[in-house]
């Protein structure tokens, strides 16, 4: 019985709660954030059930007064009844229709706005836009004195910049070479022009245009940098080469695989004369990155050649004889002394390399090497050393036709008689028969080429040290 009583009490309490809470009511249980987010927007202000006497007239006068001060709304009519505003008439632009409604809605007491405005499509209305152009022309005429002053100031700044850049003698005295002096002068002119333009725009109050000019100049500079990458690279390389001076005029150099004598260094390319007498132009961008071999910087130059003796001969004696022979030549330097090295032992000979030094100012490298080879060969042969020729072993296939038999002794006798008839007489060469002085044909051509054009086109300066 007690249990049944408690159950009945619980049911009664639940019934009271259900009937006590009205329908649609929200219980304050759990998080209320979601309910706040879903809450509807605040309702529009209520419309009063009564209106003050004369309110419509005041609203109409207020809106008409505002429109009267705006040229675009001169043909707009305003009617107000019970707070409802009716706009009729025409306006010059489509945007003015929404603008008029927005102004009317902001006046206190307006319930709603009926916008019946239209755009004026008549000829007179279309020509009304010319008034704006006329106003701008009037403003430009009024600004002419300030514009003239800005142009005058800009011209003065530009003239001063050009005068400073035109002091060529001063810049050539300060800068290490002509190319850098011209570069500084061009930079001064550019800075003067840009500065004059910026000052003129600032005086006219055109700061927006000034920012656009600077931004456009930056974009154009980046675009030109990508488009003229090779030209800019050559220009910078010319500047670096003129400062570093890796060679002198008429130097005998090898730039990568191109050999010749330097004629001049210009702002774009290095001009060489090959050993064949041809002009060669190499872009300075390639020259700056190339491996440069200069034969003229050090007048001492070594030549070398190889010669083989018989495998049964003494290589030490051959090397000693070769050194003595090279040392006896008048054009070979005593210091460093000539040298001979045993390079390899071949199938039928011993290869010896001979080395000697000359002074290129007194002896030509090619002539000296040729004469040294002949002298060492003659000395070795006169001393009894054999200079064997390559020996080849020929094998005949059994399937080939057999050669006719011939007496070997008769063949050798016939060959010796033929050789005796055709062998030229021996010629004795003395030291004065062959001139080994340096060949200067190309050097003279280079000097004549340099003399034919002014020096201001050459970036090489003989007063600066070679890198």
Cβ atoms of 253 and 292 within 8 Å: the answer is: yes
Give me the sign of the Cα torsion angle 234, 235, 237, 243: positive
Q: Which two tokens stand for residue 182?
A: 């011209």
pLDDT tens-place string over residues 359-380: 998 999 999 999 999 999 999 9
Span of 26-30, 108-112, 384-388 with lowest mean pLDDT: 26-30
Q: DSSP character for 93?
A: S
Q: Which two tokens stand for residue 372?
A: 């040294």
- Model confidence at 464, pLDDT cuts 50, 70, 90, reads low
Instruction: Compute the average pLDDT of residues 119-148.
Output: 68
Q: Which two tokens stand for residue 13?
A: 């309490």
Q: CB-hemisphere CA count at 13 Å for 66?
A: 15
Instruction: Compute the average pLDDT of residues 313-327.
Output: 93
More confident residue, 383 or 128: 383
Helix (H) or strand (E) holding 81, with range, is: strand 76-81
- Span 300-391 CATH architecture: 2-Layer Sandwich (3.30)
At residue 337, does pLDDT exceed 90? Answer: yes
At residue 423, does pLDDT exceed 60? Answer: no
CATH entry, 247-296+448-457, from 2.30.30.60, 1.20.1260.10, 2.40.50.140, 1.10.1760.20: 2.30.30.60
**pLDDT at position 180, please?**
72
CA dist., res. 394 & res. 45, Å (int): 122
More confident residue, 411 or 75: 75
Instruction: Compute the average pLDDT of residues 88-108.
Output: 87
**pLDDT at position 20, please?**
44
**pLDDT at position 466, please?**
66
**pLDDT at position 187, please?**
84
Helix (H, G, I), strand (E, B) or coil at 42: coil
pLDDT tens-place string over residues 201-222: 888 777 667 677 677 777 777 7
**pLDDT at position 145, please?**
85
CA dist., res. 300 & res. 127, Å (int): 92
Taking phi over 0 as left and psi of -120 to 50 as alpha, with beta for the rest, 245 belongs to left
- Give the chain's mean pLDDT: 77
- Span 55-122 CATH architecture: 2-Layer Sandwich (3.30)
**pLDDT at position 122, please?**
64
At residue 129, does pLDDT exceed 80? Answer: no
Pairing of strands 84-91, 112-119: parallel
Cβ atoms of 110 and 48 within 8 Å: the answer is: no
Cβ atoms of 297 and 250 within 8 Å: the answer is: no
CA dist., res. 285 & res. 283, Å (int): 5
381-398 in b/e form (b: 16+ CB < 10 A) is: eeeebeebeeeeeeeeee
β-partners of residue 231 are: none
Helix boundaries (H) for 143-177: 144-165, 168-174
Residue 226 class from Cβ within 10 Å (0-12 exposed, 13-18 middle, 19+ buried)?
exposed
Helix boundaries (H) for 166-307: 168-174, 178-203, 207-227, 229-244, 284-289
At residue 322, does pLDDT exceed 80? Answer: yes
Listed residue (83, 148, 90, 154) closest to 122, CA to CA: 90
**pLDDT at position 29, please?**
38
Angle between helices 55-68 and 95-105 (to 10 degrees): 140
Taking phi over 0 as left and psi of -120 to 50 as alpha, with beta for the rest, 50 belongs to beta
**pLDDT at position 426, please?**
42
Q: Where are the domains of the chain?
A: 55-122, 143-227, 247-296+448-457, 300-391
**pLDDT at position 333, please?**
94
Query: What is this structure's pTM?
Result: 0.53
Q: DSSP character for 332?
A: B
Token pair 């200069």 is found at 294
**pLDDT at position 420, please?**
45
Q: Which residues contact 69 (CB under 8 A, 6 or more apart)?
A: none
């Amino acid at each position: 019985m007690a249990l049944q009583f408690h159950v009945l009490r619980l049911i009664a309490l639940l019934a009271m709660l259900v009937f006590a809470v009205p329908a649609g009511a929200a219980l304050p249980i759990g998080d209320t954030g979601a309910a706040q987010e879903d809450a509807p927007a605040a309702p529009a202000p209520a419309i009063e059930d009564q209106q003050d006497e004369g309110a419509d007239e005041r609203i109409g006068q207020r809106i008409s007064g505002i429109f009267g001060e705006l040229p675009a709304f001169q043909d707009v009519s305003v009617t107000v009844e019970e707070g409802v505003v009716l706009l009729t008439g025409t306006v010059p632009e489509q945007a003015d229709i929404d603008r008029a409604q927005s102004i009317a809605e902001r006046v206190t007491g307006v319930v709603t706005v009926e916008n019946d405005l239209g755009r004026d499509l008549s000829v007179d209305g279309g020509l009304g836009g010319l008034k704006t152009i006329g106003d701008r022309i009037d403003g430009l005429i009024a600004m002419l004195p300030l514009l003239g002053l800005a142009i005058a100031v800009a011209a003065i700044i530009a003239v001063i910049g050009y005068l400073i850049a035109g002091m060529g003698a001063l810049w050539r005295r300060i800068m290490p070479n002509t190319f850098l002096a011209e570069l500084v002068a061009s930079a001064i002119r550019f800075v003067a022009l840009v500065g004059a333009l910026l000052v003129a725009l600032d005086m006219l109050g055109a700061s927006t245009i000034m920012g656009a000019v600077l931004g456009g100049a930056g974009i154009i500079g980046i675009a030109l940098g990508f488009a003229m990458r090779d030209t800019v690279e050559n220009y910078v390389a010319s500047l670096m080469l003129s400062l570093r001076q890796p060679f002198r005029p008429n130097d005998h150099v090898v730039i990568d695989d191109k050999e010749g004598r330097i004629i001049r260094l210009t702002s774009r390319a290095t001009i060489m004369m090959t050993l064949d007498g041809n002009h060669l132009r190499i872009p300075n961008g390639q020259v700056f990155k190339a491996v440069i071999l200069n034969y003229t910087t050090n007048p001492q130059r070594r030549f070398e050649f190889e010669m083989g003796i018989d495998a049964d001969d003494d290589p030490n004696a051959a090397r000693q004889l070769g050194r003595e022979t090279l040392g006896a030549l008048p054009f070979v330097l005593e210091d460093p002394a000539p040298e001979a090295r045993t390079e390899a032992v071949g199938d039928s000979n011993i290869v010896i390399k001979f080395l000697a030094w000359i002074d290129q100012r007194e002896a030509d490298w090619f002539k000296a090497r040729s004469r040294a080879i002949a002298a060492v060969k003659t000395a070795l042969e006169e001393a009894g050393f054999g200079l064997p020729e390559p020996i080849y072993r020929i094998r005949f296939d059994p399937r080939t036709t057999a050669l006719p038999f011939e007496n070997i002794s008769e063949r050798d006798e016939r060959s010796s008689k033929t050789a005796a008839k055709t062998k030229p007489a021996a010629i004795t060469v003395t030291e004065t028969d062959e001139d080994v002085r340096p060949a200067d044909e190309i050097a003279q051509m280079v000097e004549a080429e340099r003399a034919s054009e002014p020096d201001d086109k050459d970036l090489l300066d003989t007063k600066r040290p070679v890198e």
